[in-house]
Structure 1
Amino acid sequence: MNIRPIKTEQDYYTALSRIEELWGAKKDSLEGDELDLLVTLVESYEMKHYPIAPPDPIDAIKFRMEQMGMTASDMVKYLGSQSRVSEILNGKRKLTLGMIKSLYKGLKIPADILLNEG
């Protein structure tokens, strides 16, 4: 086992290739330990070089609505009147703190996503 830091794209692809070879290795074996270390290094490299931006709050709401089979009418109890729901979903009005709390409690959308202004 010769593990080194991942500093370049070539190092990254080499590590991914080795992970693929080691996939399914037994836990607490030399190969399993090597796999764990390489996965940790790759995750660290990806977080630094390929960060994933948090989703837009409105996109998160629409995604949750789709997941739950909800319509805009179902959102009235979380956002207010039908016209307010329309304004929010079309990006013409910002979420208020009360709406964020309601969406967090009722639909389990993480507050940090709802607070993100993009």
Structure 2
Amino acid sequence: MLNMIELMQQPFRIMKITTDEQYKSVMAQIEVYLQKATQNGGFQSLTPTEVSDLQSMSLLAEDYEDNVLKLMPLTRKPDSLADMLNFKMFELKYKQRDLASLLEITPTRLSEIMNGKRKVNMDLAKRLYKKLNIDPTFILENA
């Protein structure tokens, strides 16, 4: 059995990992390079060819992990209005008081909405849609 380096050095260079066996082979070779770099004081100890191979194999492995194994990206869709508002605050790098100001409500009212103590009225639902681009269906289903 050929390892991934040998396969990549053949005239038909592998451009995509298609099997679990290829993935394991690539990961084993990546580990060899990482161990070599660790033992010798850093990546500068690798030859330019080894660095290039390591970069290529890392990209191949990342693609396989993302598209076949579905390891990344680790995304979870918000399933409540509070989750969605927290997600929007993260996206905008806002604090809760900044979001309250944008939505033209008091920070206390926003806190009550996010903690489920107060319901969203029609005015606020419109602002959530217009200012934060939250899907109206999501707002209605989770308000």
- TM-score between both structures, scaled by the size of structure 1: 0.50
Higher radius of gyration, 1 or 2 = 2
Q: Which has the higher contact order (CA 8 A, sep 6+)?
A: 1
TM-score if structure 2 supplies the norm length? 0.42
